[in-house]
Amino acid sequence: MTFRLSSDAMRLAIPALSLTLLLAAVFWLQPRAMSYVGLNLLFNLAVPIALATIAQMLVMAVNDLDLSMGTFVSFIACVTATFLRDAPVTGVLILAGAIVTYAALGIVIHLRNLPSIVVTLGMSFVWGGLAVLLLPSPGGQAPDWVRWLMTVRPPLAPMAIVASIVIAAVAHLVIMRSSLGVLIRGIGGNQRSVERAGWSIVRARATAYGLAGFFAVLAGIALVGLTTAADANIALRYTLLSIAGVILGGGEFIGGRVSPIGAVIGALTLTLAGSFLSFLRISPDWQIGAQGAILIIVLALRLMLNRLEKREKRR
Amino acid sequence: ETSAKKIALSNNYAGNSWRQAMLTSWGKVTGEAVKTGVVAAADAFTTAENQATEQAAQIQNMILQGYDAIVLNAASPTALNGAVKEACDAGITVVSFDGIVTEPCAWRIAVDFKEMGRSQVEYLSKKLPDGGNLLEIRGLAGVFVDDEISAGIHEGVKQFPQFKIVGSVHGDWAQDVAQKAVAGILPSLPDIVGVVTQGGDGYGAAQAIAATDRKMPIIVMGNREDELKWWKQQKDAKGYETMSVSIAPGVSTLAFWVAQQILDGKEVKKDLVVPFLRIDQDNLETNLANTQAGGVANVEYTQEDAVKVIESAK
Amino acid sequence: MILLLRPFSKPWIWSWLAAFIVWFLTIMVTLGASTLGLSQAALTFAAFSVIVGIGQMFVITLGPGNIDLSVPATMTLAGTVALKLMNVENGMILPGFLVVILIGLVVGLCNYALIKALRIPPIIATLSISFIVQSAAIWTNRGLRIKPPSMLAEFTTSNTLGAPNVAIVAFLISILAWFLLEKTIYGRWISAIGQSMPAARMAGIPVDGTRFVTYLFCAVLASVAGFLLACFSGGAALNMGSEYLLMSIAVVVIGGTAVAGGDSNVPGIWGASLFMFLVVSMLNTYGLGAGIRLIMTGLIIISVIMLAGGRRPGMR
Amino acid sequence: MNDVLKAVIAVDGAKISFGAVRALDGVTLHVMPGECVGLVGHNGAGKSTIVSVINGGLTPHEGSVASDGERLERYGINVARARGVRCVFQELSLCPNLSIVENARIMHRDLGGFGWRKRAAQIIGKSLDTVFPGHGIDSTRTVGDLSIAERQMVEIAMAFSDAGVPPRLVILDEPTSSLDASLARQMLDHVRRFVGAGGSVIFISHILHEILETSDRIVVMKDGRVVAERPAHDFDHHGVVEAMGTVAKDETGQRSAREQSTAPLVLSHQAAGLSFMARKGEIIGLAGLAGHGQTELLLALHASQAGNWLPERDPLVTFVAGDRRLNGVFELWSILRNFSIASLGDLSRRGLILPGKEATKGADWKRRIEIRTPDMDNRILSLSGGNQQKVLFARALATRAPIVLMDDPMRGVDIGTKQEVYAIIREEAAHGRTFIWYSTEMDEVSLCDRVYVFREGRIAAELAGDAVNETNIIAASFEGVAA
Ligand SMILES: Nc1ncnc2c1ncn2[C@@H]1O[C@H](COP(=O)(O)OP(=O)(O)OP(=O)(O)O)[C@@H](O)[C@H]1O
Ligand SMILES: Nc1ncnc2c1ncn2[C@@H]1O[C@H](COP(=O)(O)OP(=O)(O)OP(=O)(O)O)[C@@H](O)[C@H]1O
Ligand SMILES: [Mg+2]
Ligand SMILES: [Mg+2]
């Protein structure tokens, strides 16, 4: 073979294949899913997860980890369902403030050389507290334009698919193709040499965090658009889901090795895995355990494909 | 005639004894109903984590699977509205209970949680006419039920101003969390005469207080077997008096029958109310005897019960 | 002066300082009347976080990405199964305890088997296992709360010479952990692996064996903590471990262990565990609402790490 | 004084200390246009530190930096780059997760704007073609997938590349440490071309003949000071070594051919090509062009002997890493702990470490191999690159393992130390230890009893006794390629 897969392409091929296999299994179990409406139902809740995964990926690209993703998205959801609807100007200001706070976190973490895990763990309490203050009991309502955006029915493909493609494309352009993306990933790969080339690491890290904040804000808004209302605990699981999504998509914890398209695929895979389970009709006792099993199976699949790929490469 | 209809239970959490009792009741009653051919299927689905987003996905999957009705204990009264609306649009009957949803197209079998909170203070006012200091144990912050019960309790305190809440902690409806929270605040509290609770936390509070040399205040219980057993011991030993109140896990079976009745074409009001299950000093023993060791005091409903509830709402 | 300042270079001092300040602020509300009660309560509840925290610390020391998310589920399963097996009989305590250890070993084995066989990041592997373990806990007795044998209930809830028994147990475990880390070859090995796995391999360290033992150790400690907690609170509940997921990680990192691995410290875990309990007590005592309370907790954590942080490059 | 006016960069009286260590103790260094300055000195002499000063990464605590006769008060990385100062660092400093093109983007700050990928590819491609004709490196490849030699080539090409600001002074800090002879030759030729065209180069290397034949002027550093500075033709090999303060015994070629074919077999391995075997007391060389499978064989030998699950009481092999950042040092640890990690079994009782024994053994080896540090409890990263390498050496030699695997371990080790290590190796071999030694330096390969020559991942030839010489090895390395 003269054609050589770049390591980026490899990083992508595996998650894409596992998603395809899983999708085939779901269609086999539930042929009804193979329709415009069916695909939308399968995937629309993956849209906010995909956005949160991209956000997490940006933080992971600079060798950090964000443990506050879930509470942050919950907080944004609360803001969206209250201020953004009732007082759009204030709402937008709060969202902008949240993004600035994220960027500031990046700065503090860099300047004081703090472990991002601890800082974001602390922030997860702060965002959670703010969300509880904002919505002590669930409620609020999605702004109409958000609701419209998330329920619009484009021709050809359902909203969920279109949105996923758009998110993947935009994130790919920003992170993989632009100079800014190269800089951010460069910090993950070898911060020292980026610094020696004369770049300001603080500024770059702040930008990475700010961008992550931006994508997380979009995740919160999209989530409210789907659920129509918010509560303070609405997205707590996004922390783990987003990390799992990045990993499933071929990203790594350190070294700036990430793949935005993979991350979106990872988020879709995770969502689909849940549906696959409910189509299997397992006894309630073991339904939770089956979630673990399916994760394991998907990852085993990844490993198998990885091996195949390696063998291919060696030839 | 509903023998061809399929009903699904969408449950958001399975991590405590109340939910487990609820699932057991569902399994028992619907299993019978499926066997006798009342309905074709009644499958239970549980999400791994107590998360609205996951449950929304679960409901969307149920739509795909072609269920005729979805019985729902919701993680959030509002955050599932999108998914519930989609189910209604697909022609599916949605009946929510315990954790109800606000989406108008769904039915609600509600418990008056506010009254549940208020009645605790009312009870205390009868036992302790002079009033005194109260400790409030709340549930999980940001959850609808917690907010409702707490609002009821505060309403009660307003109504009986001889009481004053001097401390408030979150026990997350778990004995060990409650125990920890109470143990932490207790040293700094003045004397307290009563503990108002939300269920699932009374025994933990009792343990925490027993570990100090304080006099045992009146702790309102939440129908858990260990709470009742502790109460019984205290009652036998020194005539301890209190009451216990909670929603019966078997309400899931009521929701099942209501869904069945709606599928059968019955006219049913969107908002139904079930009474909460209250245990008092005199019926403690009978209730304790009827409660499974380590479980929750329970009532299961039959089709006739459901019909009665529906009739009385008209 | 230099002697006075020297302790401030130790990473664990900050968590102790924070715990002390919060403790002081809390007892000041009652002008000191609550000193004994609060201290005992703090020691008692910190003990559980210390036990799970130590296990988590060993795992985190193994390097970036190593973390055990199956801790809560393991605690639940161990508590549930052991209490069911003992069935309130004092004579069954020993078998009960053996089962607890066995559960820890099996969970640890599964965790490492997955990490190794599937080559997946531990965070994902242990998460998957935790779902399965949680299911197993539900399946064993569907969340019924069975009381602990009277001797165990008595032991876990009483004091010896004013110190809570559970705290004494935690203290003994801490001594063991400290000894392992500081004095033995094993301690050197995990620290080496945490700094660089390839380098550890080339230095002849049995990397897989060491990591495997570490995951076992963490799971066994979680299991023991679950068992003690179930006995202490009068029965196992299905959600009793959930608090300890974030808690076990928080006490490790606030305690000054390097999140990037290779550097751990035991005293910090105690400081951090006391702090995590006391901060909630303090905010409860001052009567702050849940929202404010959460925000304050978060800000305090960040301030502690800001004061303590920036010690050494490459901490991230 | 005219000097300072013309100098591309003139450092005057620079002093820098790291804690108690005086890395630079008043160094004055002027680099003129169109000259190549060779910088030599023992490990830890301060060479890399003066590089950091010129490159703007470190601000001297005392002293000044001037350029083109203008004293620069606020000198920093960006000022240096704007004046055309480029640097190839001692440790590899590309981002392994990025492609070569993307690394070029990082290195050249003002390459941005639409279509930068195309421009970057052109720039780096052109530079690679000039420095290493026939390199065969595709610039869209990810750096992490390249061999260590290829990475070094890219880095060198990157420093000579021109994206707007042309390079005027290129600093090469041990650039050839991972290159084999032919690639090193190409690079040195380019340096001469570059200097001939008016550029300036600071060239640091421990391989003295490279310095002697490439530089116009040689600066010798010792303990943070410049101790000698003369035109290159005034120096010879011996003179440089003497100036460095090392008592040189010219030992190259002193190998006495030993006949080992009767010694017992201790290790054999079926690799691709000829089969590999090692006998007790042998020094076996792995030669050939860099990156042709030598390291892989060492890793395979190690993996097949070292237990991953159970601790071994008497391990058969021990390993000296060449890529010390990746699989050598433990960065958080002290020098002592880094040294003792492989021999803890002998320094302990029932799994308990005996601190006294550990310290004694550490002090012993510190003396034996001259690790330049005031205290073995200092952190390993406080050592210069070469001294870190010595620690790794001591780590392996201090074990009882009968076979020592060495992955080009002399990278960055100064010539005095090398001679000592060679002596130790010979002595240990005489006592029955087996050494399997991958080296990119011909001098070292010639020290071996027997040599396996690698080509394209296979063992292509085996040379023994007097057949071990440069001509035969080069012939075997290129056999078939030329044909
Ligand atoms: N970051 C640092 N912290 C502490 N000491 C340092 C640091 N960097 C260098 N040193 C010390 O400064 C001295 C000079 O080091 P430098 O790296 O310049 O030596 P070198 O001449 O490049 O040696 P080599 O040939 O081994 O690379 C050494 O003693 C080293 O230990
Ligand atoms: N070179 C080595 N590399 C890795 N582990 C080792 C090495 N040598 C010994 N060990 C391990 O270190 C521990 C101590 O082993 P060692 O043989 O040194 O015991 P000892 O101190 O001789 O004990 P005793 O006094 O009982 O003989 C054991 O767990 C052993 O397996
Ligand atoms: Mg150097
Ligand atoms: Mg020994």
The closest of B197, B189, B168, B175 to C291, measured between CA atoms, is B168
3-class state of residue B205 by DSSP? helix
Q: Which pLDDT belongs to residue B247? A: 86
Q: Which residues of B touch A228 (CB under 8 A)?
A: 78-79, 81-82, 85, 103
pLDDT at residue D478 in the model: 63
Q: Find the D23 Cα to ligand 1 centroid distance in Å.
A: 6
Q: Where are the domains of chain A?
A: 7-306
pLDDT at D468: 82
> Does the pLDDT value for residue D412 go beyond 80?
no
pLDDT recorded at residue C264: 81
- How far apart (Å, rounded) are the C-alpha atoms in residues A249 and A14? 8
Q: Cβ separation of B11 and A132 shorter than 8 Å?
A: no
All residues of chain C having their beta carbon less than 8 Å from the beta carbon of residue B177 are 243
Contacts of A19 by beta carbon, 8 Å cutoff, 6+ apart: A265, A268, A269, A272
Verify whether the Cβ–Cβ distance A229 to B76 is below 8 Å. yes
User: Where do runs of H (alpha helix) occur along D57-180?
Assistant: 77-82, 100-107, 116-131, 148-160
Contacts of A182 in chain D (CB under 8 A): 98, 102, 105-106
Instruction: Look at residue D422 and tell me whether its pLDDT is greater than 60.
Output: yes
Q: Best-predicted range by mean pLDDT among C179-188, D258-267, D324-333?
A: C179-188
Tokens of C123: 């965070």
From chain C, the residues in CB contact with B231 under 8 A are none
pLDDT of residue C297: 80
Q: Are A123 and A65 in contact (CB under 8 A)?
A: no
The CATH number of D9-244, from 3.40.190.10, 3.40.50.720, 3.40.50.300, 3.90.1150.10, is 3.40.50.300
pLDDT of B52: 84
Does the CB of A182 have a partner CB in chain D at under 8 Å?
yes
Task: Chain A: give the shortest CA distance to residue B57, in Å.
Answer: 7
| Chain A residue whose CA is closest to B27 | A284
ipTM at complex level: 0.80
Cβ D45 under 6 angstroms from ligand 1: yes
Rounded average pLDDT over D157-184: 87
Ordered structural domains, chain C, with CATH = 37-308 (1.10.3470)
- Which positions of chain A have pLDDT values less than 70? 1-8, 10-11, 305-306, 309-315
- What is the C-alpha separation between D36 and D32, in angstroms, rounded? 8
pLDDT surpasses 60 at D480: no
Higher pLDDT, C256 or B189: B189
Interface test with A, best of B47, B64, B146, B148 (most A CBs within 10 A): B64
B42, closest residue in chain A (CA to CA): A281
Say whether pLDDT at B43 is over 60: yes
| Domain ranges across chain D | 9-244, 260-316+401-478
Q: What is the pLDDT of residue A137?
A: 80
Q: Which residues pair with B70 in a beta bridge?
A: B8, B94
D44's CB contacts (< 8 A; 6+ apart) are D372, D383, D384, D386, D387
A6 contact D CB<8A: yes
* Chain C touching partners, 3 or more CB pairs below 8 A: A, B, D
**Residues of chain B in Cβ contact (below 8 Å) with chain C:** 14-17, 19-20, 23-24, 48, 138, 141-142, 167-170, 172, 174-177, 179-181, 183-188, 203-204, 207, 211-212, 224-226, 292-295
Q: What is the mean pLDDT of residues D219-248?
A: 81
Q: What is the pLDDT of residues B194-230, one digit of tens each?
A: 999 988 788 889 989 988 888 899 999 988 888 898 9
CA distances from D442 to A19, C55, D287, D406, D446 (A): 53, 51, 8, 15, 6
Percent of chain D residues topping a pLDDT of 90: 25
Q: Residue D248's pLDDT band (boundaries 50, 70, 90)?
A: very low
Distance CA B14, CA B26 (A): 13
Task: Record the pTM.
Answer: 0.84
Yes or no, beta carbons of B14 and A33 under 8 Å apart: no
Most confidently modeled range among A256-265, B134-143, C287-296, D404-413: A256-265
DSSP assignment of C242-290 equals THHHHHHHHHHHHTT--TTSS---HHHHHHHHHHHHHHHHHHHHTT--H
Q: Ligand 4 centre and the CA of D313: distance in Å?
A: 9
pLDDT(D247) > 70: no
- Burial class from Cβ neighbours inside 10 Å (0-12, 13-18, 19+) for residue D20 reads exposed
User: Which residues of chain A lie closer than 8 angstroms to B140, CB-CB?
Assistant: 233
With a pLDDT cut of 70, the percent of chain C lying above it is 94
The DSSP element (H or E) to which C20 belongs, if any, is helix C13-29
D9-244 with D260-316+401-478: one CATH topology?
yes
pLDDT for residue D340: 93
Q: Search chain B and give the residue with CA nearest A233.
A: B142
Distance from CA of B100 to the nearest CA of A (A): 12
What does the buried/exposed string (b/e) look like for A84-99 if buried means 16 or more CB atoms within 10 Å of the residue's CB?
bbeeeeebeebbeebb
If one residue of D174, D246, D384 were mutated to test the ligand 1 pocket, choosing by the most ligand atoms within 8 A of its CB, it would be D384
Q: How many Å apart are CA C278 and CA D146, to the nearest integer?
A: 53
Q: Which residue is closest to A291 within chain C, CA to CA?
A: C131
CATH of domain D260-316+401-478: 3.40.50.300
Residues B46, A284: C-beta atoms closer than 8 Å:
yes
Q: Residue whose CA is closest, atom 13 of ligand 1? A: D23
> Which portions of chain C are predicted below pLDDT 70?
1-9, 308-316
CA of B199 vs chain A CAs: smallest distance (Å): 18
Q: In A, residues 46-105, which contact D (CB 8 Å cutoff)? A: none
Candidates D17, D21, D415: which one to mutate for ligand 1, based on the most atoms within 8 Å of Cβ?
D21
| Cα–ligand 2 centroid distance for C184 (angstroms) | 11
